[in-house]
Structure 1
């Protein structure tokens, strides 16, 4: 049975992807670089730091990675605070509350920065439901590297065999499986071009999940 659920954030709990996309492309324009839609799709599930290290290497950007991250973050923060229609994804609050009410431990393991994670937690008052909030900026490599999920499982009260991950990106599913964890792929309409076929289970809506169903899952 499962006793701990590790959530990704972007594309799973809240759709900040349009805000990220806006911020990235405004910053790309400012930097004078061209990024195709296909290349941008490969950034899903990767930390901002990792993305800018890749872009610095590829485009020979003069600024150091921390400065590039801050430049993009400035665009993101303004857009996030000004976007009135930013909402949790349909059904996810009910699932979080159901899991919490039935005693399952919840952790967050997101490639987003601590700043973005904290903004989401404050705006939607989700902090009390989660025992740990992990940010990809604390790890040298992004998903699909499994380090963030391996660390989340190490922090959990349950053993790894009783932890599962909910992810919406191919990189995230690969990271979860690489950490030896059961993974539910969420086929989010906000995360296009993602191959989730290597997840243990794929769902199209959070209505398909309940605390009872998740608790009853047996690890492969």
Structure 2
């Protein structure tokens, strides 16, 4: 029986991808580098630090990785604070509330930085539902490495066979499966160029899930 649901954030709870895209494109222009749409799509599920490590290697950037991260984060924060049309994804708040009311433990495991996670949680008042929040910036390797989900299960004090992960990216699904956790792939119109073939179940709307459906998922 499932006891813990581990949510990814970006593309699952809220779509901040347009804000990230805007911030990255502004920064790429400042750095005078041309990043292809295919390369950009391959970043999905990676931490900002890992993305800039890769960009530094590919483009021979002279700036320190942490300085690059800081510039992008400031660009994101400015854009985020100015963006009024930012909403939770359709149906996810209802699912979160239903799971919480029925005593299901909820944990966030996101590649986003801690400061970004808290910004989203403050804006949408989500702290009341989640027992823990885990950020990809606290791990040396990003998804598809399983460390973030292993840590989430450890914090939940729940064996992996009694957890599920809800993810929208190829890297996130690979990470969940590498951690030995059942994975629901959320294939929404926000998800671009992602592969759901490794997911145990694929949904396109959160009304396809409920407490009863999740509780009796078998690994």
Shorter-normalised TM-score: what interval? over 0.9
Structure 1 SS opposite 2:11: coil
* Partner of residue 101, structure 2: 101
Structure 1: how far apart are the matches of 2:197 and 2:87?
Answer: 27
* Partner of residue 141, structure 1: 141
Q: C-alpha offsets along residues 58-106 of structure 1, whole Å, 9 cap, x if unaligned?
A: 1111111110000101110000000000000000000000000110000
* Partner of residue 161, structure 1: 161
Instruction: Give the paired residue count.
Output: 219
Offset at 1:154? Answer: 1.0
* Partner of residue 92, structure 1: 92
Q: C-alpha offsets along residues 27-78 of structure 1, whole Å, 9 cap, x if unaligned?
A: 0000111100010000000000000000001111111111000010111000
Q: C-alpha offsets along residues 16-36 of structure 1, whole Å, 9 cap, x if unaligned?
A: 000000000100000111100
* Partner of residue 119, structure 1: 119
Structure 2 SS opposite 1:129: coil
Structure 2 SS opposite 1:218: coil
Structure 2: how far apart are the matches of 1:190 and 1:50?
Answer: 22
User: TM-score scaled by structure 1?
Assistant: 0.99
Structure 2 SS opposite 1:180: coil
Structure 2 SS opposite 1:214: helix
Structure 2 SS opposite 1:153: helix
Q: C-alpha offsets along residues 134-183 of structure 1, whole Å, 9 cap, x if unaligned?
A: 00000000000111001111111321110010000000000000000000
* Partner of residue 175, structure 2: 175
Structure 2 SS opposite 1:6: strand
Offset at 1:189? Answer: 1.2
Structure 1: how far apart are the matches of 2:100 and 2:192?
Answer: 29
* Partner of residue 5, structure 1: 5
Structure 2 SS opposite 1:166: strand
Structure 1: gaps of 5 or more residues = none
Structure 2: how far apart are the matches of 1:207 and 1:149?
Answer: 24
Structure 2 SS opposite 1:197: coil
* Partner of residue 48, structure 2: 48
